[in-house]
Amino acid sequence: MVCPSCNFKRTSVHTNPSWECPNCKKAYNKHKSKTKFNFKKSVNSDEASSFTVMDLLLFPLGVFIFSLGYKNINTGYFDQGDMFCLFIGFLLVLPTLIKLLSIKSSSGGDGGGDGGCGGGGE
């Protein structure tokens, strides 16, 4: 065992108690780390991906506005108003799409597969 206070490596020759460093005589578990740990509260995947009423209202509205701008994209009459509708519609749909993708990726099994990379020479 290595002492976290003085970095002395304990060997089987030392006769002092196993909880005490033979060099500095400090208890191993009483050492105060100089590193500050910043533990963040882990967010439950159900909380992070739950849909709100706003999501359920803004998604169809965004699809509708996007379709208003998209209708003229293949014609010669595509103007700034159509571009604005595409942009606003995309901004309204984007948060819901991100939540949908996070649900799919977070519930995708145990993650122990080969990731579809083939190989398999093990």
Tell me: the pLDDT tens digits for 35-90?
Answer: 554 545 555 555 555 778 888 888 888 888 888 888 877 777 778 888 888 888 88
Q: Does 63 share its domain with 88?
A: yes
pLDDT for the residue numbered 20: 86
Of 105 and 5, more confident: 5
25-47 core/surface letters (b: 16 or more CB in 10 A; e: else) = ebeeeeeeeeeeeeeeeeeeeee
Q: Does 71 share its domain with 93?
A: yes
Question: The domain containing residue 1 runs over which residues?
Answer: 1-31
Structural domain contains residue 86: yes
Q: Does 56 share its domain with 25?
A: no
The model's pTM is: 0.43
- Please count the other Cβ atoms lying within 10 Å of the Cβ belonging to residue 21: 23
Number of domains within the chain: 2
Contact call for residues 68 and 89 (beta carbons, < 8 A): yes
Going from the C-alpha of 38 to that of each of 29, 33, 35, 44, 47, the distances in angstroms are 20, 13, 10, 18, 22
Place of tokens 């002092």: 16
Structural domain contains residue 121: no
